[in-house]
Amino acid sequence: MKIHKYDTVIVGAGGAGMRAAIESTKRSRTAVLTKLYPTRSHTGAAQGGMAAALANVEEDNWEWHTFDTIKGGDYLVDQDAAEILAKEAIDAVLDLEKMGLPFNRTPAGEIDQRRFGGHSRNHGEAPVRRACYAADRTGHMILQTLYQNCVKEGVEFFNEFYVLDQLLVEEDGVKKSAGVVAYELATGEIHVFQSKSVIYASGGTGKFFKVTSNAHTLTGDGQAACYRRGLPLEDMEFFQFHPTGIWRMGILLTEGARGEGGILRNKDGERFMEKYAPVMKDLASRDVVSRSIYTEIREGRGCGPEGDHVYLDLTHLPPEQLDAKLPDITEFARTYLGIEPYTDPIPIQPTAHYAMGGIPTNVQGEVLSDNTTVVPGLYAAGEVACVSVHGANRLGTNSLLDINVFGKRSGIAAAEYAHKTEYIELPENPAAMVEAQIERLRNSTGTERVATIRLELQECMDANVMVFRTEQTIKTAVEKIAELRERYLNVSIQDKGRRFNTDLLEAVELGNLLDLAEVMATSALARKESRGGHYREDYPNRDDVNFMRHTMAYREVADDGTESIRLDYKPVVQTRYQPMERKY
Amino acid sequence: MATPTMDKAEAAGTPEPGFADTPYITATFRIRRFNPEVSDQSEWEDFEVLIDPKERVLDALHKIKWELDGTLTFRRSCAHGVCGSDAMRINGKNRLACKTLIKDLNPDKPITIEAIKGLTVLKDLVVDMDPFFQAYRDVMPFLITKGNEPTRERLQSAEDRERFDDTTKCILCAACTSSCPVFWNDGQYFGPAAIVNAHRFIFDSRDEGGEQRLEILNDKDGVWRCRTTFNCTDACPRGIEVTKAIQEVKRALITRRF
Ligand SMILES: Cc1cc2nc3c(=O)[nH]c(=O)nc-3n(C[C@H](O)[C@H](O)[C@H](O)COP(=O)(O)OP(=O)(O)OC[C@H]3O[C@@H](n4cnc5c(N)ncnc54)[C@H](O)[C@@H]3O)c2cc1C
Ligand code: SF4
Ligand code: FES
């Protein structure tokens, strides 16, 4: 075991982690631990754009953006946070441009903007062009630009280091962060990073679904590490299902395709979104469009021999426009489906996309251990966190924004905190839990296989807690997850080595997915209403009287070692926007 | 990049455009294994996999790892050609496993898979990427500007933006660099990927660090080592005209105009 000492440790080198690192490296001795090489992070897969009311192409302002964000989140958004997001968006985009990001340009040479779902002028009047973009490679450009600037600033990376545990120490009755424990992929060695502050920026957890736009590596490691140490997870029942994933594969086709004029059609060629969202049509918010697609499929208007998908039709758009604005996604259709989007519609289905919930933080990125108490020295930003700017449903282009705004904020806050504080003594045997976990998996002679359990989990989640949920389906999921958790205790791996043991790490990641799936299903069962991405067929309406509140899920361990989940609730911060019915 | 699409004629008669439903086939994957914890020699190992030929080579590797041999080791993340993790040598050519469909490889014969060349193999298909990223860092791959920052964005015309569009697409997968015979013989050569990323800034109208960067590339291990074999362009999964970019940098060095 090796011990390292840094002022600030950042877990993850996606957009949020690197945006934080650029700030904290200037202000404090910083180490970035990342399980992937930075440029492999899934921020690079983001396509469509980043929202900011620059008003470069038409009238717009941050107040409209704030409103859209709150309405899009079905009023579960903390309104003070949404206001910060929308206000600081403008500088966040300009910062990136100054760092070198090659945005598409208007004829006047300014940053170009396009339409995106749920973004409107003057509180829902009509779609507005608010998404700043670089073709359909906006995330790629953000990730590259941030990495380039990390190289420029000399940010210190520990690549292929997996953080597996969060060290918390109680001092004067307050839980504080003392550092993290990491596993080095190349050698199998365990490292303890003692630090004054820690920022989690470890991304999402979509891999507990089968049809998903998320990378294989998005397994919620950061959420799980904090949760296991008794910290709460907020609003985990809210997961976004993006309407347009490639049929069966889940690979994303950006909403920018509809922003450019793409249309969804059923097997009769009908533009069905006109029925469900007369004003915003194909650009209604994602939860609305995903439900509409499944309604079409259920009512027998799906396409293909099994009627299990619908079409994204781009054939009426000029090929030059597709080449210029949507080059990557049209190539995905050609490569993976053998379809020419110039002439043929693309089969799509909703795909599990984004975790609205996560580690609760305030607007400085400080992690909360309950509804109000801050954990000194612990921060989170990006998809791993829940500020909550996305509420029950995130608007497209608001996450690339979120990682930049709150990545920057937490980078500054964590470094400044590190300056004014001393190291906290590490607990005795700081690596004990990780060592035990690794040894157990390495030495297990059990009969269960990681891949089998993972697939059963994914199929169960797709079938029971996706776009439509009921008491019955969620209970089925809860029971199945409990069974899988039991069986997980009996998994064994084949690779017993120390060097690049990805067999072992997949087992560890599966453990994280199982814990988080359980939290998600349990939180969903208790929320007897429909709101944003959480749709209960048995409670189809939003219930502001009983459920205008955030879910807070805690892991409890009884004296005899049995684990359970305790649910609590946290009020939503409302400033100037009164909840209204959500219509598009 | 050329992408496989089906003939209209072929597609006729199928209910939908795109790949018709194909039966599963049994394909043999011949993989070069290496694990210094076990042996300091590498050896080929065959795996037979029942698979839909429309699936990716990455899907086959997963099937092997998840169902047959958990010790098989490779990197991957996004699974759709955007993160650059899984460049490998497939049937003798550098490609991304997640962007190569089995049906395009002549699966009647064994499909060979080995680590990319020119970088030290650490285990199976995993190579040491550090020298590759070091060369990238050496070309100062970031915007360099002088004077005060403007308050708003810098202006750039759509044409000026288009000038370097091709080289912004790079995902640092190393397929080009590890297909370059000059790089195989001399690891000191920066390699195509680093030059591509220098190009991205040299031809960005906002950048003012061109001279510095060109000096770096003028070095003996720099751009002049390129012998224009076009392997890099063929290998690039992002369809970047790598050799052309290198030529443009050479020309800029001669004319000092960019
Ligand atoms: C296909 C796709 C398209 C999208 N398009 C858009 C869009 O157009 N606009 C928009 O606003 N949003 C979009 N999103 C959402 C947005 O891209 C993501 O939410 C956002 O990029 C997440 O960034 P992040 O920095 O939080 O995490 P990531 O970029 O996922 O980075 C996570 C980092 O954490 C590291 N990590 C993970 N676990 C560990 C561990 N245990 N130890 C150490 N390191 C670890 C990883 O190595 C990685 O560096 C899209 C998402 C997807 C999947
Ligand atoms: S230029 Fe192409 S082949 Fe070379 S590293 Fe970049 S994406 Fe890969
Ligand atoms: S896995 Fe990301 S490029 Fe292949």
Evaluate whether residue A521 is within a structural domain: yes
Residue B149 has pLDDT above 70, yes or no: yes
Q: Is the peptide bond before B77 cis (omega within 30 degrees of 0)?
A: no
Residue A262's pLDDT is: 96
Read off φ and ψ for residue A70, nearest 5 degrees. Answer: -70, -45
CATH number of the domain to which A324 belongs: 3.90.700.10
**Is B145 in the same domain as B247?**
yes
- Please tell me the distance between residue B95's alpha carbon and the centre of ligand 3 in angstroms: 10
Last residue of a domain, one of A532, A555, A573: A532
A139 lines ligand 1 (CB under 6 A): yes
Closest in A36, A137, A501 to B77, CB measured: A36
- Max CA pair span of chain A: 69
Q: Does residue A308 lie within any of the structural domains?
A: yes
Are residue B90 and residue B153 in the same domain, yes or no?
Answer: no
Please return the burial class of A80, using the count of CB atoms within 10 Å of its CB with bins 0-12, 13-18 and 19+.
Answer: middle
Q: B37 CB near a chain A CB, below 8 Å?
A: yes
Asked if the structure places residue A298 within a domain, the reply is yes
Would you call B234 exposed, middle or buried from its count of C-beta atoms within 10 A (0-12, 13-18, 19+)? middle
Burial of A38 (0-12, 13-18, 19+ CB in 10 A): buried
Residue nearest to atom 43 of ligand 1 (CA): A34
Residue A324 lies in a domain: yes
pLDDT in tens, A102-157: 999 999 999 999 999 899 999 999 999 999 999 999 999 999 999 999 999 999 99
Over residues A44-56, mean pLDDT: 96
Same domain, B171 and B231: yes
Would residue B249 count as lying in a domain?
yes
Query: Across the interface, do B172 and A39 touch by the CB < 8 Å criterion?
Result: yes
pLDDT at B20: 62
B158/A134 touch (CB, cutoff 8 Å), yes or no: no
Q: Mark which of B94, B109, B127 sits at the end of a domain.
A: B127
User: What separation in Å is there between the alpha carbon of B242 and the centre of ligand 2?
Assistant: 8
Are B46 and B71 members of one domain? Answer: yes
Query: What CATH number is associated with residue A502?
Result: 1.20.58.100
Nearest-10 Cα torsion for A525, A531, A536, A538: 110
| Ligand 2 geometric centre to CA of B199 (Å) | 13
> Over the range A116-133, which residues count as b (16 or more CB within 10 Å of their CB) and which as e?
bbbbbbeebeebbbbbbb
Q: What Cα–Cα distance (Å) separates residue A581 from each residue in A72, A534, B248?
A: 11, 16, 58
- The reply to whether residue B158 touches residue A107, judged by beta carbons under 8 angstroms, is yes
Task: State residue B15's pLDDT score.
Answer: 52
Same domain, B72 and B136: no
Name the residue among A438, A371, A24 with its Cα closest to residue A190.
Answer: A438
Instruction: Clarify whether residues B31 and B104 are in a common domain.
Output: yes
On whether residue A524 sits in a domain, the answer given is yes
- Answer yes or no: is pLDDT of B30 > 60: yes
Both B49 and B90 in one domain: the answer is: yes
Q: Establish if A137 touches chain B: CB-CB under 8 angstroms.
A: yes
State which ligand 1 atom lies nearest to the alpha carbon of A203: 27
Q: Does the residue B176 lie in any domain? A: yes
Same domain, B148 and B230: yes
**Residue A572 Cα to ligand 3 middle (Å):** 39
pLDDT single digits (tens) A449-458: 999 999 999 9
Where in the sequence is the domain holding B111, given as residue range(s)? 19-127
**Distance from the CA of A60 to the center of ligand 1, in angstroms?**
28
Query: Is residue A7 included in any domain, yes or no?
Result: no
pLDDT classification of B39: cutoffs 50, 70, 90: very high
Same domain, B104 and B177: no
- Determine which of A88-92, A522-526, B4-8, B240-244 has the lowest per-residue pLDDT on average: B4-8
In this predicted structure, the answer to whether residue B258 has a pLDDT above a threshold of 70 is no
The verdict on B105 and B139 lying in the same domain is no
Q: At residue B1, does pLDDT exceed 80?
A: no
Residue B156 has pLDDT above 60, yes or no: yes
Instruction: Determine the 3-state secondary structure of B25 from DSSP.
Output: strand
| CB burial of residue B69 (10 Å; 0-12, 13-18, 19+) | middle
Q: Give the domain extent around A473.
A: 432-532
Average the pLDDT over A77-96 and give the result. Answer: 98
List the CATH number of the domain containing B223. 1.10.1060.10
Q: Of B93, B112, B127, which residue is a domain's last?
A: B127
The per-residue pLDDT for A581 is 87
Checking if the pLDDT of A174 tops 90, the result is yes
**Could you give the CA distance from residue A540 to residue A551 in angstroms, rounded to a whole number?**
19
Of B94, B119, B242, B248, the residue with max ligand 2 atoms within 8 A of its CB, to mutate for a pocket test, comes to B242
pLDDT tens per residue across span A346-396: 999 999 999 999 999 999 999 999 999 999 999 999 999 999 999 999 999
Residue A245 CB less than 6 A away from ligand 1:
no
Q: How many angstroms separate the CA atoms of B231 and B94, rounded?
A: 9
Residue B7 clears pLDDT 60, i.e. is over it: no
If you ran DSSP here, which 8-state letter would residue A111 be given?
B
Residue A113: its pLDDT value, please?
Answer: 97
User: Any idea what the Cα angle at residue A46 is, between residues A88 and B149, rounded to 5°?
Assistant: 40
- Please report whether residue B14 resides in a domain: no
Within-domain flag for A257? yes
C-alpha to C-alpha distance for B125 and B138, rounded to whole angstroms:
26
The residues of A annotated as belonging to the active site are 286
User: Cβ < 6 Å from ligand 3: which residues?
Assistant: B 76-79, 81-86, 96, 98
Residue at a domain's end among A492, A512, A532: A532
Q: Could B19 and A42 be called an inter-chain contact, meaning their C-beta atoms sit closer than 8 Å?
A: no
Q: Which ligand is nearest to the CA of B242?
A: 2
The number of distinct structural domains making up chain B is 2
CB contact under 8 A, B77 and A451: no
pLDDT at residue A314 is higher than 70: yes
Evaluate whether residue A260 is within a structural domain.
Answer: yes
User: 3-class DSSP state for residue A574?
Assistant: coil
Q: Does B198 sit in the ligand 2 pocket, CB within 6 Å?
A: no
Residue B3 in domain: no
pLDDT band at B4 (very low <50, low <70, confident <90, very high): very low
Where do we find the tokens 């092997």? Answer: B64
Give the domain-ending residue among B100, B127, B154.
Answer: B127
Tokens 């455009």 belong to B17
Q: What is the structure's pLDDT at A172?
A: 87
pLDDT at B12: 36
In a domain, B51, yes or no: yes
Q: Mind listing the pLDDT tens digit for each residue in A239-282?
A: 999 999 999 999 999 998 999 999 999 999 999 999 999 998 99
User: A436 a known binding residue?
Assistant: no
- Is A45 annotated as a binding-site member? yes
The span from the first CA to the last CA of chain A, in angstroms, equals 56
- Considering the domain architecture, whether residues B108 and B144 belong to the same structural domain is answered as no
- Taking 90 as the threshold, does the pLDDT of residue A582 lie above it? no
Looking at residue B34, which CATH number applies to its domain? 3.10.20.30
Which residues of chain A are within 8 Å of residue B5 when distances are taken between CB atoms? Answer: 334, 338-340
Name the residue among B3, B129, B172 with its Cβ closest to that of A335. Answer: B3
Mean of pLDDT values over A461-480? 97
pLDDT above 60 (res B14):
no
Give me the pLDDT at residue B10, please. 39
Tell me: pLDDT of B125 over 60. yes
Residue B77 domain-assigned (yes or no): yes
Cβ A179 vs Cβ A192: under 8 Å: yes
C-beta atoms of B157 and A148 within 8 A: no
Please give, one letter per residue, the 3-state secondary structure of A187-236.
Answer: CCCEEEEEEEEEEECCCCCHHHCCCECCCCCCCCHHHHHHHHCCCCEECC
Q: How many domains does chain A have?
A: 2
The residue whose C-alpha atom lies closest to atom 6 belonging to ligand 1 is A46
Which DSSP symbol is given to A303?
B
Query: Is A182 assigned a ligand-binding role in the annotation?
Result: no
Tell whether B148 and B218 lie within a shared domain: yes
Residue B2 domain flag: no
The ipTM value here is: 0.96
**Helix, strand and coil percent figures for chain B, each rounded to 5:** 35, 15, 50
Section A438-451 average pLDDT:
96
The length of chain B is: 258
Q: CB A100: neighbour CB atoms within 10 A?
A: 25
Count H helices, E strands: chain A? 16, 20
- Which of A486, A508, A532 terminates a domain? The answer is A532
